[in-house]
Amino acid sequence: MQDTTGAQTHEDGNALAGPLSAVFAHDMTTAVGRCLSCAAERPLAEVSVWSHGPGLVARCPGCDAVLLRLVRTPRGSWLDMTGLSRVLLPV
Amino acid sequence: MGSLTPGFHGRPRPQGVALPPGQYVTEDFPVLSAGPTPRVDTATWQLDVVTETGATHSWSWADLMRLDQEEPTVDLHCVTRWSKFGTSWRGVSLDTLLADVASAADFALVGAYGGYTTNLPLADLLGGKAWIVHTYDGAPLHPVHGGPARLLVPHLYLWKSAKWVRSIRLMVQDSPGFWEQLGYHDYGDPWREQRYQGD
Ligand SMILES: [Zn+2]
């Protein structure tokens, strides 16, 4: 997008709606996550999941670092993915 | 010192009377872990209390054993809805540990071997309400339950009673811990059913 001077501007987050709906409709177990801690990459189906506590905790099988946390509450679902430096969604 | 109730263990209670809302009673001791069980040798075990000025007070295992030992018998309430009555512990009151620690902090962030954290008001660690425990039911605390030592704050939901306790950071401002960052309550009073933020 450009303004009247020709400089590029940004759009609001609604521009993410289409592209992200494709991302989040993806089967995430086939997504390949990179561990922020040790840089190992593997499909999320292969990570270690601890599910008996107050929420779900996914850990790197290599270094035990937390990759992802998910908590479902009455207000909504809380998702923390700060332990993943990137995710590849294979075609 | 403390709210000890010797002889309370095993005393039958009318169902429902001492049970917070939304809880059920269990006889066993469920293990709820967010990760692998750290194996911590008492030869290298250490507890650090770091104040808001950065002053650090440290205790080795031998230091901990030299302090006054108490034997609280308490009820446990887990946010996953089980409660366990009359659990017997042995350990050191936080009143004893923090007696010589100068601090004006209002909050504490408890850290554990393995990286777990949980926050609570400092006042809830004091006044005979919290212990660093190392013995459960007369035996050394098993690693799956937080051994060699865990925090015990039985008047709050059990996720506040950090297993494998390693550090207590005293803070002027509250800072959310592992579960509190993801929607769990900063205080966690089972009698007021403070499971999630906003409860
Ligand atoms: Zn890793």
pLDDT in tens, B154-195: 999 999 999 999 999 999 999 999 999 999 999 999 999 999
Over the stretch A13-30, which tens digit does the pLDDT of each residue have? 888 888 888 878 888 899
Q: Flag whether B26 is in a domain.
A: no
Q: Flag whether A45 is in a domain.
A: yes
Q: Flag whether A11 is in a domain.
A: no
Nearest CA in chain A to B116: A66
**At B51, which CATH number?**
3.90.420.10
A86 CA from centroid of ligand 1 (Å): 13
Of B34, B79, B183, the CB nearest to A75: B183
Over the stretch B63-113, which tens digit does the pLDDT of each residue have? 999 999 999 999 999 999 999 999 999 999 999 999 999 999 999 999 999
Rounded Cα–Cα distance for residues A81 and A77 (Å): 13
Q: Flag whether B199 is in a domain.
A: no
Nearest CA in chain A to B195: A73
Rounded Cα–Cα distance for residues A49 and A66 (Å): 10
Closest CA to B125 of B91, B165, B90, B155: B155
Q: Flag whether B15 is in a domain.
A: no
Q: Alpha helix locations (H) across chain B?
A: 61-66, 94-97
Q: Using an 8 Å Cβ cutoff, are B142 and B150 in contact?
A: no
Q: Flag whether B113 is in a domain.
A: yes
Q: Flag whether A10 is in a domain.
A: no
Domain that holds residue A48: 29-88
Of A53, A55, A78, the CB nearest to B33: A53
Structure tokens at B109: 């962030």
Domain that holds residue B69: 44-192
Q: Flag whether A9 is in a domain.
A: no
Q: Flag whether B163 is in a domain.
A: yes
Q: Flag whether A22 is in a domain.
A: no
Q: Flag whether B133 is in a domain.
A: yes
Give residue B177's identity as a one-letter amino acid code.
Answer: G
The ipTM assigned to this model is 0.85
Domains in chain B: how many in total?
1
